[in-house]
Structures are given as C-alpha cells and as structure tokens.
Structure 1
Amino acid sequence: MHHSLFAIILCLGCLHTGTESATLNGRITNVSGSVLVGVNVHVQGVSEGAQTDSLGRYRIDSLERRIYIVRISHVGYAVVERRISIEQDAETLDVSLDEALLPGQEITVTATRAIERESPVTFSNVGEKEIQDRFHTQGIPTMLSELPSTTTYSEGGNNVGYTYLTLRGFDQRRISVMINGVPQNDPEDHNVYWVNFPDLASSLKDIQVQRGAGSAFYGPASIGGSINLVTDRFSPEPKLTVTSGYGSYDTRKLGITLNSGMLNNSWVLNAHLSKTQTDGYRHGAWADFLSYFVGGAHYTENSTTRFHIYGSINRDHLNYYGTTRLQTINGRQVNALRDRELRRINPITGDEEIEDFHQPHYEVLHEWAVNPNTTVNNTFFYVQGDGFFDFDGSWGDTTYYRLTAENGFSAVGNPGQSLVRAFVNNRHGGWLPRVKIRSSKTETEMGLEARYHQSIHWGKIRWAENLPSEVFPEYRFYEYKGAKWVLSAYGTHNQRFSDRLNFMASLQLTHKRYRLFDEAYVGNDFTVPFTFINPKIGLNYNATDQVNGYVSLSRTSREPRLVNFYDAANSSFGVQPEFRTEANGRIDFDEPLAKPERLSDLELGAVYNGSRFRASINLFWMDFHDEIVKNGQLDQFGQPVTGNAESTLHRGIELAGAYRPIAPLLFQGNVSLSRNTFEDYTVFDTGTPVSYDGNRIAGFPDFLANLRATYEHLGFRASLALQYVGTQYTDNSENNRQNPQARQALGYDPLKVDPYTAVNLGLAYDLARFTGSSRFEIRLDMNNLFDSLYETHGEGAAFFPAATRNVFLWTKIEL
C-alpha cells in the first residue's frame, strides 16, 4: 500500500504541464506580515478567481497578456484593487491588507474568533474555498477530521447522518460549538447533534477550530476546545448555484442556491434548499434530509442587520448500536468486523424504528459602528425542536411500562413486540449583547449572555401485544419537563505593549440553573444551581516577521448533564435521583452527587510563516478534576453511561505544517502525540473497589497523523489525503490492563479500536472556461481508496465500522 501511495503522490507532482496562457500568483498578508488564509482574489473580466491557502498564497491561471484590475477582499479588511499588466508567463502580485470595519463582517472576526500573531490561542482556520472544495454530503465533523488532534466517526459508516467529533479525545459534549456566535450545544445534554445540520456547510463562509480550555468567552464550557462556524454567503452580485450528486449506497443529493445580489444598494437576500438521501453503509442506516437556509442582510453606512432561518426536516432509521466483534455463526466463532457482510449488520432491525425530527433556528444579528473605535453587537436567537424516535421495547415488562394494578391496570402478562415512542419538545432562546472598544494599543470587549431552555419529554407505547384493556392511545409511562437558565457576563482585554508583544486577559462569570419538574408518577421536583468564575491570561510575542510564540493559562468549569442528576426516563426501572439520601430515606435535593468538572490548561506554542513553508508546534498540559468519563456501557438510547473521575491528566504535543514546492502543489500535514491517564479513579461496578490509576482513558488515542497533497492547475484539482489514528480503548480498564489473565480467556473480545490508516482521493475539473459560467465543476471523491476494513469508534464491546471503498460523483454549476 505504501508503494501505491508514493506512486500516486509522485503522479500528482508530475502533472504540471506547460501552457501558452499566463499565470498570476502571489501572497497576501496583513500589515504585520501575518499570512491571511481564505482571501478572495478576483480578476475583473475573468470568471475564475482564487482564495489564498494556508501559506497565504494564491494562483490564477489561463490569463491573457493584457492589463487587468485585481480585486482582493477578506473578512475584516479593507478591499484592495490593483491594476496589473500581465506581460510574462507568470506575474507576481503580493498585497498587504489593512484592517477595516466592513459592513456585516465584524460578526466574523469578533467575540470568540482568534487572530494570528495576536491571540495566544491554538487554532486552525478552514476557509470558504476549502469548505466548498471538500463538502458534498458528509457531516461537518468529517470535514474537520484532518485538523490536528481531531477524530470523527459516523453511526451509519458513510459519514451521512449521525456523525461525531472529538478534540484531543474530548467528545463534543465538552466542545463549545457556535454558529454565527449562537451556542449550539444542547443545554440539558451538552451534545451537538450535527445530524440537524446536514447541509449547513453549503452556506458556510468560514470555520475556526480552537483547541484547549476556555477558548470561548461565553456559551457552553469549552474543555477540549471550540468550533465557530459563520454562514455569511451573501454576494453583491446575483448568483444561481445548482448542485447534484450520486454515489455508493444509493447516496444522492440535489441542491439549489439563489442570491439576489445588492438590492437598492442596501439589501442582499440568500436562499438554499437541498435534499439528501442515502441507504447508509450499515444495513438499514437510511436517512432522508430536507435542508433549508434563508437569510437576508441590510446594510447602512454604520450598521448591518442580518437574519437567518435554517434547519432540516429529518427522517432516518436508528443505528446507534455498534457491531459486536466476536460472533458465533453456524457454531463457529468469527470476527464479524473482518467479514464484509457481517460488519454491516445493524442490531436495530425493525422497519418502524425510526427518528423524525425538525429543529428550525431563527437568528437576528445586528452590528452598529458607533464610531471608528466602538462597535456594539446584539444577537437574538430562538430554536424550536420537535420530534421523536420509535424503538423496539420488547425487553420492557409491566413494571417498566407501569402497567400495574397500582396504576389502575388489569393484571396481564408482559407486553410483547412493543414499539415505543420517545418524544422531545425543545425551546431555546436568548440574547447575546456585546460592545468592543479599541484604541491604538488596546482592545476591550465586554458582553452578556442570557439564555433560557425548556423541554418536555415523554414516552408511550405505540403498539404492543397483550396490553391491558385500560391502555388508551395517549397513555404515557413517563413524562417530565426540564428547564435551564444561563446568565453570564464576560470581559476580555488585549494590551499591545509593543509591535511585538500582546497581552490578553479574559474573565467570565456564569450562573447556570437546572430544573426538573412536572414529573408524572414519581413527582420529583428539584433545582440545581452552579456559579463559575473562568479566567484566562496569555501572551503572544512576534519574534520576527515570520516567527511568533504564545503562552496561555486558563481555568474553566462545566456542570454535569441533567441526566447525571436524574435519568427520569428510566424512573420505572427503579432509577433514583443522584442526590444524598438521608438516614430516613429522604432525598436531599440540595446535595447532588455528580460534581462539576474543573480544568486547568497550560498551552505553549510557536508558529513560523514563510513564503512557501508554514510550521507550528503546540504543547499542552491539562490538569482535570472530576472529569466525567465514559464507563464503557450504553443506556437504552445508545448514549454512553458516565461518571466522575477524581483526577485525570492530559498532556501532549501538536505539530502542523504546510509546504508549497511549486505553485500548483501544496502539502499539508499534522501529527498529534498525547498521553491521557487517570491519576485518581476508583470504580465500584462489582461492589469491590478497583483502582484505575494509571490507565489510559477510553476514547483518547495517543497518536494521530494526517497528510494531504493537493495539485491544482488550469481548473484541474487532485487531492490525496492520508489519515492515521492510533489505538482507542473502549472502556477505562485499558483492555483489562490490571487483569491480564482476563485477556487469556477463551472468546475474550479486546476492548479497543485497533489503529487504522484511511486514504481518500478527490479529483475535480472546472469546465467554466468552456461554458461561460462562473463555475461548472465535476468532482469525484473516492473514500477508503485501498478498501480497508477498519473501525473508527467503539463503546465497550460494540464497534462502529467505516465503509469500505465508496465513491461520490458531484457537479456544481454557478451562473
């Protein structure tokens, strides 16, 4: 395989052929010399433009030898137009951009966004071009999987539908995710359901991923880091975009985007609609998504107002249980994950076991430039989610369904072949104001966060055999309401002591309060408050025009999930609220057993930016107390069961680089090495205390590596990506490290995901120069090029296999 990979990369590098047309290339920086990624470079009168890569370089081919006007624009910088005469085969135009307050664009660069050579933050940017070059149907986590210290997996195997992401091994419950500055983590569960944004990437302009604690000033606690997505695709020119594609597992997609262009010199409207469907790699893992995004922007001399309405109407089959590795087939034990058919088996087999969910988002974002040094922003949002999933509940007895005499039902046997519906209704709204004040040496931002979330949860039997005659259609065997208030104030200050040294300090005071109430049958009603102070300080030093270093120290805290206090959906199982119980049996709701997580994080990094080469190194030391960790078990909804570990330690090093040996060819890569262990953790699962001190924590791989080679010339693009992920343990025993005799038992199933290497290939050609359109691209993506059999994730003895070799053919036309 290694010889084949080398040959492919060599071929990519040999595709450079001569042409009689001329080429314009160059490098774009800011006034301090830092490279700018994702800058738009457009040659007037030419349909094809370019964006700068991770080295700040751009290239535009097929130009005639004549005079052109080149327009250069980027978020948060003044637009530059340059007149250039193309007289040689290759002309160079390097430009330095000045910062400016552009209408509608300050939203992108303030609040949680880090700036190179200023912010003492470890981060990666994904620009609009990279998003559009790579996206078709895959979930956003899959698009981000090549960033340092990042892993992803999907339940269906082909990266459509339920996809998940980790940063430094921390799952997305401990990653702060924001879209246009609006928090997206579920307030009760902390999770991010990317399945609700199956086509959001079609409307994205920018993604910034920050690694490390306290990287977000407000919103959900950022333990592993934060992901900031921006959906500004408004264009001053009218535009129509049509996309369509088809691929393996009957995966198909059709989309259309309309942009009004500037109306009355003040309005721009944008609308996107798409349909995505797939049968999934695993059997029965089908999905059907109808996605939409509608937006508008109104510009005045000193203000911008934007509104967005987006979401997706989702229907998909359940596939949240993994596949067991060792299975007995015809009396013989086999490794099902190495069998091309058995690994595709989905344990959830009922045709009616489906999910149906719709969660529209409504946003209004207003920015007012009071004067050149003061900007005021206000964001209002509202999220409305309604849906259900139906699952096989045949394992439930009369006690679980409360079909007992004490609840007024006749005595019958246990219900059979039951189909259960779990319903949820979510309402989440808030106001996020902030003000930013600048001077020649300082920049201060202050803001508030006010949010309220309320939910209704219930479960009922849709159908079952042997039900008591008293059961009526709307009978609910559990029902409760949840609520959460969040009120935060924060401030961040940047002090430039010189052109080279920048100091940053931020402080957040946040108060959060859970409530569970109106619980049927049991009647539990409690409120759990939390108040946290989260500080962060850091320094950035620009040693030269190419080299900068930074150091930061932060402290952050995160409250447990609501289910960590009480799993009300399972109260009929005998589940009790997790609070201190007094001697008389009374539950003291003022004394919860689950503790908030508390993390101290030290980051030290350096970056080199050259004209053709970029390199960065970052070291981190994360001292964690009361970390909420997985114990290798799943609840009946397929979610990991968790608990507090007294003390854990996460430390590592992240290396990243990019190199452009010749203009059309770019190499990018990164390596992450870490060690994630329990320092003080004792479990009592068997009634006997067992120390896990020194064990590796489940789900945290020690080694990750990515390499991508991209060749782009005259409308042709070829890109080859290689990813290596090291061993991941699936429970906290580290595959029974302290009990080696257990591993010798007959039929023992190792509790780990083996290391794997994935290779993906993308080929694209833009026919725009022949069709007269702005873009007419045909793209072929081939994932798992060498048809390997590997798993990407596991929980205990259940594993999620990746799809074997699969392809997707994609077309995109812009008029």
Structure 2
Amino acid sequence: MKTVLFAGAALLALATAPAWAQGPVSGTITDARTGEALPGATILLDGAAIGTTSAAGAFNLSAVPAGSHELRITFLGYEPLVRQVRGQGAEQQFNAQLLPGGVLTGEALITASRASDRTATVYTNLSKQDLNKRNFGQDLPYLLDQTPSAVVTSDAGAGVGYTDIRIRGTSSTGINTTINGVPLNDPESHGSFLVNLPDLASSVNSLQVQRGVGTSQNGSAAFGASINISTLDNRREAYAETQNSYGSFNTWKNNVSFGTGLVGKYFTFDGRLSRIASDGYMNKAASDLKSYYFAAGYQNKSTLLKFITFSGREKTYQAWNGVPEPALTGNQAQLQTYLDNGELSAADAARVRQEGRRYSYYTYDNQTDNYQQNHYQLHLSQGLGSDWNLGAALHLTRGFGYYESYRANRKFADYGLQNVVLGGDTLTKTNLVDRKWLDNYFYGGTFALNYQPKDNDKIQATLGGGWNRFDNDHYGEIIWAQYASTSTLGQRYYFNTARKTDFNAYARATWQVLPWLGLYGDAQVRRILYKIDGVEDEQNDVTTRANYTFFNPKAGATIALGHGQQLYGSFAVGQREPVRADFTDRQAGYPPAQAERLNDFEAGYRFTRADLGFLGPRTAVRVEANYFDMTYRNQLVATGQLNDVGTALRTNVARSYRRGVELTGFVAADDKISLSSTLTLSRNRILDYHDVTYDANYAPVVAAEGRTTTISYSPSVVSAHTLEGQPLKGLRVAALYKTVSRQYLDNSTNEGRSINPYQVLDLRLRYALHPSFMKEIELALLVSNVLNREYVANGYTYGYIGVSGQQETFNWYYPQATRNYLGSVNLRF
C-alpha cells in the first residue's frame, strides 16, 4: 500500500505540476558554399532520429528534455554538425551551415530499428550522458533500473556479476537486445548475458528501450521489450578519459578510453580497456571481469566503413543457487524440514545458521563460471543518391567457456564409466570434478535500406532484415575423480551439437497523411531452422528438429491534438520459438513446447509544453500515459523451478494476458532541480490454469479444475522516482526511490511461494571541476539501499511429498545487498 500511495502522490504532483521539463530548439540548415537550404537532413537527438529538415531546410524540436544532450544533423555528402543543447524554457535557435565532404555517421542501420513519435509505440531514449551519470561499474540492467516497468536483480547481490532485468514481468529471454543492429541474445536460450560484456555501458553512445513488441528487430522476438544499443559514435576530436571506482565488498572498476579524432581527413580510432572486480555481497560470489573495445573507421564523402571489435572475459563464483528460505527467516523448524528431506546436509544447515542471508551453497574453491565472448562487426553506411541510404553489417561472435563443479557421490554409470572393484568391494559411486563446456560461433549479416526523400519529409520507409547462423557444441569433461575407473584425462561424458539458422525480412514506413494525422506500418517475416543432435549430461537423447515461420504485422497512428499534445495507438503481433531448455529439460507429464504468440495493443497520450513557466522562466512540461494490452496464446511461463545451470523451467499456458497503464513524467526548473517519476499498474493473469503437484513417487498430478492465477515474476505495481538538484555549481545530488510489489515464484498465486514487496532508496552525488589543464575532473558517490533494507528481488520454488508424508515447499531466494557504497574519480582530457 505504501508503494501505491508514494507513487500515486508523486504522479499526482506531476499531473498538476508538469512533468517532462523540456525546451524548444529550432533552426535552419544550409550549404556553407552556396547558402542554399538543405531539405531532408536527418535530425538526431542523443543518437535517435527524430525528424528531417523541411523543404526550406528548417527544423523545429518542440521540446528537448532537461539537461545536456547531443544534437546531430547529418546530410549525404556533408560533414555532420554536432551541437550540445540543453532543455530549458527559453527557445534555442541557431542557423548552421554544413560543409561539403561529410558522410553518414553510422546511424543508417541503427535508426532503422529505432522507434520515434511517428511509429506510435512507447519507448525511452538514454544518451551517453544519461548512462555516464549512472555508471559506477554495475552491470547494464542496473543503469536501466529507473526506466518504466523495469525490475532488476543480481545473483551476487550488488549488481556485479550475473544480473537480469525484467520489463513488464518479462525476463531477458523475452527482451530483444541488439548492439549496432546485430543481435546479442543467445540464439538458444534467448538470454542476453551482459556479464560477458562488462563495462559495455562505457562505450555506448545511445540506447533505446522499447516496451511491448515495438518495431521489427533482428534476432529473437521482443515479448516484453527490446533494448537497442549503439556504439557507432564518430568523435571527431581527440579525447582520453579514465573512470575509477571503489566501494563495498571490495568492488573495483578501472577503465581507460581514448580516441584519435579525425586522422588524415578520413580515419578515426577509438578504444577502451576495462577491469571490474568484486567479492560480492553474498559469500563466495566473487567476480573478475575484463573487457576491451576497439573501433577503426574510414569515411569519405557518402561512405562510412567501420570495423568494431569488443570482448569480455568473466570468471564468477557460482551464486545462481541462491539461499534457502530459513537463511532469511531464521526459522529452525523450517530449516529442519530442508535437512530431513535432503535439500541441505548437516554441514549446510550449520553454515545457514552461521552465515544467514549471505549463505553460499557451494564450498568448492573453484566452483566458478568461466566464459569469454569476442565480437567482430564490420559496418557500412552508404549514401545512394539524395533520397536513399544503406546500412549493412557483417558480424561474428566467438564464445567459449565452462563452469566447473564438484560433484559428490556420483554414479559411475551416469558418466559412462565402469564400477571400481577394491579388494572384495564394488564401488558404484565416486566424488569428482567436472566441467560443462559451451563452444560456439554466431555469424551472419544484417541490412537496412532507408528512403528519406529530400523534398518530402512526410514519408520515411525502410526495407531491412538479416541472416544469422549459430553453431554451438555442448559437452562435459571429467577433470578429476577420487576413483578414476576407466576415465581418461579430460574424459567427455556427454556431447551434443546445436545448429540454428534465423532469417528475417521486414518493411516499415511512416506517412504524415495530414498535418495532424500520421500512419505507421511494419511487417516482418521470420524463418527459424533449429536442430540438436546428441546426448545431454544425464545421458538422455536430446535430438530435436524444430522449424518455424512467423509473420508479424504492425500498424499504428498518431494524432496531433494541438500545441504539444499527441495521441497514438498501435497494434503489433509478435511470435517466437521455444528456447533450448524447453526442449531438453521438458519435465515428465508436460506436453511438447509450442511457439508463443503475442497480440500487443498500445495506446497513449503525450503532453509536451515548454512555455508554461509557472516554476520560473525556464520551466517546461512532458507527461505521458500509456495503456498496454498484451494478449498471449501459448505463452511459456516460468514454473518457478530451475535446471542445473539456473535456467527457468517453463510450460505453455493456452491463454494469458498482461494489461496495465504506464505513467511517466519529469519536471525541472532552470536546470537546478528536477523530479522524474514513473508508475506502472498492471494485471497479469493466466486463464484456466491447472496447478501441478507431485505424489509420493514424484509423478506429476495435474489439477482437474482450472482457475485464473497471476503470472509468476509479474508485480502489479512498479514505480521509480528520481529527485535531482544542483545546490552548488558543479554539484548534482540525486535521490532515487524504487518500489516493487509482490511477485509470485510460480503460477499458484500462493503467498507462501512469493517475493515480498520492497522499497529501495539510493543516493547519488556528482561534483564536476573544470580546471584549465584538462576538460573535467569528476568526483562521484553512490550510496545504495540508504535505508538498509533487507530484501530479495528474485527466487525460485519447488515442492513434493516429503518424508513427513505431506506436501512440502522449498523456496530459494537471492538476497540483495544492504546499505553499500561506491565512490569514483573520473578524469577527462
């Protein structure tokens, strides 16, 4: 209730006192030689295309959000124009001249998949500046925590290591993520494992989060949201900077970034080296993360060619088991139930009593996950006359690594080994250490052909798509055994291969039919061929053949109601295939996994004004209300259980939906103080759901009577609020408040298998100095969980008939860190 009251009060304040503080920016773009107007020049704000110049070369942005932003204007055959603008009440106007010889700046492929006010969809743009002020070394999901409908969690408890983000209750497996238009999601699991790319945020120049199905994307389908990341910035001036953070749990972040600017009129070079390390809040949850980023670009007239490579290597102690519920409650009777049923050993129970909520399930010193991922991208942006441009990319991702585990009392037969005879005794089990490997290649190409007529800014169109192939070997090796039997060094006890081909093509267009009416259309065809051959770790045959063809249409309309007001509505279809675990870990009694379908209706109202001035001469407003109705057929929902590598087990439900409203607002006065707020109220339901329990023989028992239940991991209320002020010149202080209502671990709507609601307050301070010998010295401090709340943000559950003869439930949770600190010193040259 406190969550609703706080969020409601904040949004009521924003409704009566405006919310998105913004100021107008306008101007005229001409040729520096002739003085002639340049119609059709592309206008980008923080990397997102938001319009083109008119036939007279003019542009008008009715509202730019408060704070510093990059305004970029590009035109084929001319140098790009870059200006820093600030959202403020007074209109900013400038007339600029473009110099001949410029090129496309790489946005052709990115803007093809970005949403705008013309696409009738709901989205949030984050600039490099937005990300920098949040970036203390935590993983990218934590930098998106204040965006609408987002819930983040960390296995190690403090945002370093394995993290995840859910948007509208959908985890990263349902969030399409691309980097420069290239898919990042693992083609088999659909997850985006950003732990493999530590400190990626330091190389991002713009990011867009689309909620719902959104626009057509390359890669896996967006079933709750998409995250579109761009690193294709061209910085024409030389620069160097270093960011250094240290804080609680021995957390370190160090990086060095550099750029040559334009070299010899045609070339640019940029790079970054990063290291992040943390012991983690949880015991034995350390992370050792390293990464690099390098880009080399060539530009000449209407051509840009850019090679990018980035890589990450991670070593994390396995914290994906979480902690048993009695470690949080201290309930000794509950702990005894875990002990009696073999869920914990006597030694485990003793450590639960000693370590409490920071308990670690594993004790083996090298119980670690080790993985490296190398990315290679070659991008081409090519002007094709005055009205067309082409963005294309070739890519290769090389991934390899393993996680190592100590296994006690494992049967020789499970590893394809013979029993051992010692004297007169026959041993059927041994203690051993194994490694489970992934060894894969992901490669292919993407393209986007954009039509933006110079003499008609009412029409924009894109034809795009991609072809991608994924080859992945899964295998296990025994590296040590107490009794070796017939094993050899590096004994492989299972091996299977997976091959997946994904082809898609889409066409998209926006048409400003009337000054007050715009139409949007988008259609995608996607074809998937997937096969698995071989056996899994339990010696079960996982041979799979699955082929799918999906047609995903989208359409929308925008209506201008007057100065600063817009209505929009859209309908989109999204379809996607099951993930690998839906095939290989299918539980007995469950039918084969089916493809999912989502019908997504979005409608909203945007109000933007820059001339109200009730808080001062430079006060402006933006308020947005969005209604969403996401109706699913055969949605795959989490059962609450995990497989042995922490992947959620799922089952199809015939009919389900997510419906709700997202309210966002932002108000600022003279860039001295601002308040942003977002509130999501939703209803997430499964219709005619049949509970599954297990009998004394562990056979599933499906309830005969169906009922309406809440979808697992789907809170009905999520809010985020940021109050930021500048009490002294150069000093910015921000308070960030996050609330999340109850989440259920399975689909039973049973509070005994749920995550309690929580509220978290963070405090952030940044102080910038500008001495004469360098661009900037910035000192920053982040205090997380200021109120020192003990809360959890994720978990899982399972149950069966226990030794007592009664149904027993076993809940495991991921505790998040209590009050903790990160301080940083950032130098920019």
TM range (shorter): 0.7 to 0.9
Aligned CA distance change for structure 1 residues 202 and 54 (closer, same or farther; 3 Å): farther
Query: 1:506 — aligned with what?
Result: 522
Secondary structure of 1:400's match?
Answer: helix
Query: 1:689 — aligned with what?
Result: 702
Query: 2:757 — aligned with what?
Result: 755
Contact map agreement 1:218 1:508 (CA 8 A) in 2: no
Query: 2:361 — aligned with what?
Result: 347
**Partners in 2 of 1:140 and 1:325 — Cα distance?**
28
Query: 1:95 — aligned with what?
Result: 93
Q: Does 1:652 align with 2:651?
A: no
Q: Does 1:603 align with 2:602?
A: yes
Contact map agreement 1:315 1:356 (CA 8 A) in 2: yes
1:640-692 CA-partner distances (Å, limit 9, x unpaired): 11111111111000000000134311110100000101113324443432245
Alignment match of 2:558 (pick from 525, 534, 540): 540
Query: 1:467 — aligned with what?
Result: 484
Query: 1:636 — aligned with what?
Result: 644
State the Cα distance separating 1:346 from its structure 2 match.
Answer: 1.7
State the Cα distance separating 1:614 from its structure 2 match.
Answer: 1.0
1:139-168 CA-partner distances (Å, limit 9, x unpaired): 111110111111110100000011101110
Secondary structure of 1:158's match?
Answer: coil
**Partners in 2 of 1:789 and 1:196 — Cα distance?**
28
Aligned CA distance change for structure 1 residues 330 and 463 (closer, same or farther; 3 Å): farther
**Partners in 2 of 1:186 and 1:97 — Cα distance?**
46
Query: 1:594 — aligned with what?
Result: 593
Question: What amino acid is the match of 1:653?
Answer: V
Contact map agreement 1:203 1:233 (CA 8 A) in 2: no
Aligned CA distance change for structure 1 residues 576 and 486 (closer, same or farther; 3 Å): farther
**Partners in 2 of 1:234 and 1:463 — Cα distance?**
50
**Partners in 2 of 1:534 and 1:485 — Cα distance?**
18
Alignment match of 2:681 (pick from 673, 681, 689): 673
Alignment match of 1:387 (pick from 401, 416, 420): 401
Alignment match of 1:480 (pick from 496, 517, 527): 496
State the Cα distance separating 1:565 from its structure 2 match.
Answer: 1.9
1:756-783 CA-partner distances (Å, limit 9, x unpaired): 1100011111122x35311110101110
Question: What amino acid is the match of 2:149?
Answer: S
Q: Does 1:553 align with 2:571?
A: yes
State the Cα distance separating 1:58 from its structure 2 match.
Answer: 5.4
Q: Does 1:438 align with 2:452?
A: yes
Query: 2:194 — aligned with what?
Result: 194
1:230-278 CA-partner distances (Å, limit 9, x unpaired): 1134311111111212100000121111110110111110010011111
Contact map agreement 1:37 1:54 (CA 8 A) in 2: no
Contact map agreement 1:564 1:578 (CA 8 A) in 2: no
Alignment root-mean-square deviation, CA: 3.4
**Partners in 2 of 1:162 and 1:519 — Cα distance?**
27
Q: Does 1:28 align with 2:42?
A: no
**Partners in 1 of 2:437 and 2:124 — Cα distance?**
38
Query: 2:16 — aligned with what?
Result: none
Task: Trace 1:659-738 onto structure 2 (pairs within 5 A).
Answer: 659-686=667-694, 687-690=700-703, 691=705, 693-712=707-726, 714-735=729-750
Moved more, 710-719 or 74-83: 74-83
Query: 1:496 — aligned with what?
Result: 512
State the Cα distance separating 1:94 from its structure 2 match.
Answer: 1.1
State the Cα distance separating 1:404 from its structure 2 match.
Answer: 4.3
**Partners in 2 of 1:225 and 1:613 — Cα distance?**
26
Query: 2:216 — aligned with what?
Result: 216
Aligned CA distance change for structure 1 residues 779 and 272 (closer, same or farther; 3 Å): same
State the Cα distance separating 1:448 from its structure 2 match.
Answer: 2.6
Task: Trace 1:41-440 onto structure 2 (pairs within 5 A).
Answer: 56-57=64-65, 73-74=71-72, 94-95=92-93, 103-107=104-108, 110-116=111-117, 118-327=118-327, 341-394=355-408, 396-404=410-418, 412-439=426-453, 440=456
Query: 2:35 — aligned with what?
Result: none
Question: What amino acid is the match of 1:455?
Answer: N
Question: What amino acid is the match of 1:541?
Answer: I
Aligned CA distance change for structure 1 residues 163 and 329 (closer, same or farther; 3 Å): closer
**Partners in 1 of 2:295 and 2:319 — Cα distance?**
33
State the Cα distance separating 1:417 from its structure 2 match.
Answer: 3.1
Question: What amino acid is the match of 1:443?
Answer: Q
**Partners in 1 of 2:242 and 2:416 — Cα distance?**
53
1:114-136 CA-partner distances (Å, limit 9, x unpaired): 112x1211101111111111102
Contact map agreement 1:28 1:35 (CA 8 A) in 2: no
Secondary structure of 2:427's match?
Answer: coil
Aligned CA distance change for structure 1 residues 184 and 330 (closer, same or farther; 3 Å): closer
Aligned CA distance change for structure 1 residues 233 and 810 (closer, same or farther; 3 Å): farther
1:51-88 CA-partner distances (Å, limit 9, x unpaired): xx99625569xxxxxxxxxx97336589669999xxxx
State the Cα distance separating 1:562 from its structure 2 match.
Answer: 2.3
Question: What amino acid is the match of 2:702?
Answer: P
Aligned CA distance change for structure 1 residues 545 and 772 (closer, same or farther; 3 Å): farther
Aligned CA distance change for structure 1 residues 510 and 182 (closer, same or farther; 3 Å): same
Which 5+ residue runs of structure 2 have no aligned equivalent?
11-21, 29-39, 49-60, 337-348, 611-619, 695-699, 798-810
Secondary structure of 1:170's match?
Answer: coil
State the Cα distance separating 1:28 from its structure 2 match.
Answer: 3.1
State the Cα distance separating 1:91 from its structure 2 match.
Answer: 11
Question: What amino acid is the match of 2:72?
Answer: H
Which 5+ residue runs of structure 1 have no aligned equivalent?
11-24, 41-52, 61-70, 85-89, 569-574, 580-592, 737-749
Contact map agreement 2:23 2:62 (CA 8 A) in 1: no
Question: What amino acid is the match of 2:451?
Answer: I
**Partners in 2 of 1:708 and 1:384 — Cα distance?**
39
State the Cα distance separating 1:728 from its structure 2 match.
Answer: 0.5
Aligned CA distance change for structure 1 residues 82 and 250 (closer, same or farther; 3 Å): closer
Secondary structure of 2:415's match?
Answer: coil
Aligned CA distance change for structure 1 residues 466 and 762 (closer, same or farther; 3 Å): same
Secondary structure of 1:773's match?
Answer: coil
Q: Which protein, 1 or 2, shows the higher relative CO under an 8 Å CA cutoff with sep ≥ 6?
A: 2
**Partners in 1 of 2:499 and 2:66 — Cα distance?**
50
Aligned CA distance change for structure 1 residues 72 and 758 (closer, same or farther; 3 Å): closer
1:386-406 CA-partner distances (Å, limit 9, x unpaired): 100002322532332232479
State the Cα distance separating 1:217 from its structure 2 match.
Answer: 3.5
**Partners in 2 of 1:362 and 1:529 — Cα distance?**
28
Aligned CA distance change for structure 1 residues 680 and 82 (closer, same or farther; 3 Å): closer
Secondary structure of 1:619's match?
Answer: strand
**Partners in 2 of 1:728 and 1:538 — Cα distance?**
32
**Partners in 1 of 2:634 and 2:653 — Cα distance?**
5
Aligned CA distance change for structure 1 residues 175 and 356 (closer, same or farther; 3 Å): same
Question: What amino acid is the match of 1:442?
Answer: I
Contact map agreement 1:255 1:272 (CA 8 A) in 2: yes
Contact map agreement 2:46 2:205 (CA 8 A) in 1: no
**Partners in 1 of 2:65 and 2:504 — Cα distance?**
41
**Partners in 2 of 1:679 and 1:578 — Cα distance?**
18
TM-score (norm 2): 0.82
Secondary structure of 1:280's match?
Answer: coil
Aligned CA distance change for structure 1 residues 79 and 430 (closer, same or farther; 3 Å): closer
**Partners in 1 of 2:196 and 2:585 — Cα distance?**
24
1:27-48 CA-partner distances (Å, limit 9, x unpaired): 436999x9986499xxxxxxxx
State the Cα distance separating 1:332 from its structure 2 match.
Answer: 6.1
How many corresponding residue pairs? 730
Contact map agreement 1:207 1:228 (CA 8 A) in 2: yes
TM-score (norm 1): 0.84
Contact map agreement 2:240 2:257 (CA 8 A) in 1: yes
Secondary structure of 1:190's match?
Answer: coil
Query: 1:457 — aligned with what?
Result: 474
